[in-house]
Amino acid sequence: MSEGAAHQIVGNAHADNPPTTEDAPQRDQSKRERYHLVWRAAAATAAIMSAYIWWAHNYGEGLGGVPFVATIAGAYTFAMGVLDESYKNGAKKWFAKWLLSLAVLVPGCLAVIILLGSRAPVIVLNQQSDSLHACLSPAESSVNQEKDAVSEKDKPARFHVWSTPLGRPFILKVQGYAPKTVVVAAPAGVTVSPERDLIPQVSLLVRPTADGMSELLSGGTLHVYREQNGQQKEIATDTPHSRSSFLVGVAPVPLSHDLLEDWRLELAGQQMSYVSRANQLLAWKAPRLVKLLSPSDELTAHQKLRVVVQTAGSKQDLECGAIELPEGVDVLADLALHSCPRNQP
């Protein structure tokens, strides 16, 4: 279209409907309304987005996941298709007016602000295949307000607590690990990965002798029993088909250099070749992690444990050892096995 033609159209239009002085306030009001509408729409979008993010952070899956959102969107589209053109415009206008009205928007924004500032999640991840039992309680409250949850590999445990943006202390206890105080601030909350962020409470390092490791390499089995009220309950077992020591607990822990030096001295007193000694030290240095049989079980101080290496064929007790677990946090109890006492024929 040429510039002259455009002027002609504008000129014709003005010629048909000449502007009057009464239309100016209406146009200003309409302009202001449209301006407010844009801001309300932006505020409504921000509130909805904030609520969505809060929900997703607290509950993990947003608004019930994709199927829920798809159902809402589908229902809306279907309703718009069924309505006549006039009703459609009216419904759209009503929907926009209702959603963007101050009566809805202000409480909605306030609710979102309150939620963001007062509720926070504590998420306990689990990267193991076994489930993990976690417990959360307020640190400053003497009233027992413990919350329990189970963390699975694909479904972390989530606690939803009241807090403030400045934070509130809680005590998190995950099975097998020492309790830890975490400061939970809204809306971020805390995400804990036990293997990375927590310290195992007590771990038991079991060191079979050269004979025991040969048997375990050849199909022998390690059994760990807990003695309680005169009875023994098996709490862990492993058939490794390898030559190593064993770490009974929830997660790998580093072995101190002092411990290795102690083992070196211990082996120096035994009659064996340098090669045997070196192989034994190497095997002990790389413990194999053995988890407890029951997910709800854990090693704690003063538990009396008995460890047995059983032969592959005749299921006889080849090597034995017993220990009472010591008190403390991040304790590694070192148990050297020895030949089981034989019954005299």
Write down the least CB distance from residue 208 to other proteins, Å. 10
Of 24-32, 107-115, 272-280, 295-303, the segment contacting other proteins by CB under 8 A is 272-280
Residues 6+ apart with CB under 8 A from 119: 54, 58, 160, 161, 162, 163, 186, 187
Q: Considering only residues 27 through 86, tell me which ones interact with other proteins, judged by CB under 8 A.
A: none
Between residues 215 and 238, which has the closer beta carbon with respect to other proteins? 215
Of 102-110, 111-119, 178-186, 274-282, the segment contacting other proteins by CB under 8 A is 274-282
Between residues 145 and 339, which has the closer beta carbon with respect to other proteins? 339
Between residues 153 and 285, which has the closer beta carbon with respect to other proteins? 285
Write down the least CB distance from residue 270 to other proteins, Å. 8
Task: Identify which of 175, 306, 295 has the alpha carbon closest to the alpha carbon of residue 233.
Answer: 306
Q: Which of 279, 289, 295, 297 binds other proteins (CB under 8 A)?
A: 279
Write down the least CB distance from residue 206 to other proteins, Å. 17
Task: Identify which of 193, 187, 194, 164 has the alpha carbon closest to the alpha carbon of residue 56.
Answer: 187
Between residues 51 and 217, which has the closer beta carbon with respect to other proteins? 217
- 147-151 vs 132-138, strand pairing mode: antiparallel
Q: Considering only residues 202 through 221, tell me which ones interact with other proteins, judged by CB under 8 A.
A: 209-211, 213-215, 217-220
Write down the least CB distance from residue 213 to other proteins, Å. 7
Q: Which of 77, 89, 276, 294 binds other proteins (CB under 8 A)?
A: 276
Q: Considering only residues 76 through 115, tell me which ones interact with other proteins, judged by CB under 8 A.
A: none
**Which positions from 221 to 260 touch other proteins by CB under 8 A, shown as an x/- string?**
---------------------xx-----------------
* CA distances for 252 relative to 172, 198, 236, angstroms: 20, 12, 16
Residues 6+ apart with CB under 8 A from 20: none
Q: Taken in order 43, 47, 53, 56, is the CA torsion positive or negative?
A: negative
* CA distances for 143 relative to 119, 134, 178, angstroms: 20, 19, 21
Q: Considering only residues 138 through 197, tell me which ones interact with other proteins, judged by CB under 8 A.
A: none
Between residues 45 and 270, which has the closer beta carbon with respect to other proteins? 270
Longest dimension (CA), the chain: 126
Task: Identify which of 344, 235, 341 has the alpha carbon closest to the alpha carbon of residue 291.
Answer: 235
Write down the least CB distance from residue 135 to other proteins, Å. 41
Write down the least CB distance from residue 343 to other proteins, Å. 13
Letter string b/e over residues 97-108, b meaning 16 or more CB atoms within 10 A of that residue's CB: eeebeeeebeeb
Q: Considering only residues 286 through 325, tell me which ones interact with other proteins, judged by CB under 8 A.
A: 311-314, 316, 318
Write down the least CB distance from residue 313 to other proteins, Å. 4
Task: Identify which of 174, 171, 185, 184 has the alpha carbon closest to the alpha carbon of residue 138.
Answer: 171
Residues 6+ apart with CB under 8 A from 197: 180
Backbone angles phi, psi at 105, to 5 degrees: -65, -45
Q: Which of 140, 265, 275, 344 binds other proteins (CB under 8 A)?
A: 275
Which residues, in sequence order, are bridge partners of residue 202?
331
Q: What is the DSSP code (8-state) at residue 344? A: P
Write down the least CB distance from residue 197 to other proteins, Å. 35
Q: What is the DSSP code (8-state) at residue 340? A: P
Write down the least CB distance from residue 61 to other proteins, Å. 46
User: Which chain residues interact with other proteins by CB under 8 A?
Assistant: 209-211, 213-215, 217-220, 242-243, 270-273, 275-276, 279-280, 311-314, 316, 318, 339
